Amino acid sequence: MMLRRQIVAAILALTLVPALTLAQEEKKATVSGYDSESRMLTVKGKDWEQKAKVSSGMAKEKADLLKEGTKVTVEFDDRGGGDIRVKSLNPR
């Protein structure tokens, strides 16, 4: 009976951890700058700042959100080697 509880606890832990990790990726921020030449977006949170590249399609689609001072919810995709991309950008 004790082994069964441990197995159930392990299965629950393995299924809930990825869900919590995904929920933490989306961050509330304020746009502090956008360079249209390089499509580099700079956003600031409460105690962090991040620069990330925006795809050309997203830059056209979400042009109104790329203005300085806009409050957004942003999700990043870290591709390794310092290549960080904006995965999603939505108004708050």
**DSSP code, position 1:** -
- Number of structural domains the chain divides into: 1
Residue 87 lies in a domain: yes
> Does any domain span residue 16?
no
Q: 37 in helix, strand or coil?
A: coil
Does pTM top 0.85 for this prediction?
no
In a domain, 43, yes or no: yes
CATH number at residue 76: 2.40.50.140
54-81: per-residue pLDDT in tens?
999 999 999 999 999 999 999 999 888 8
Q: Which residue has the tokens 């082994």?
A: 3
Does the structure show a pLDDT above 90 at 5? no
- Hey, which residues does 49 pair with through a beta bridge? 44
Collapsing DSSP to helix, strand or coil, 78 comes out as: strand
Which pLDDT does position 16 carry in this prediction?
61
Cα 57 from chain centre: 17
- pLDDT tens for residues 20-44? 443 447 899 999 999 999 999 999 9
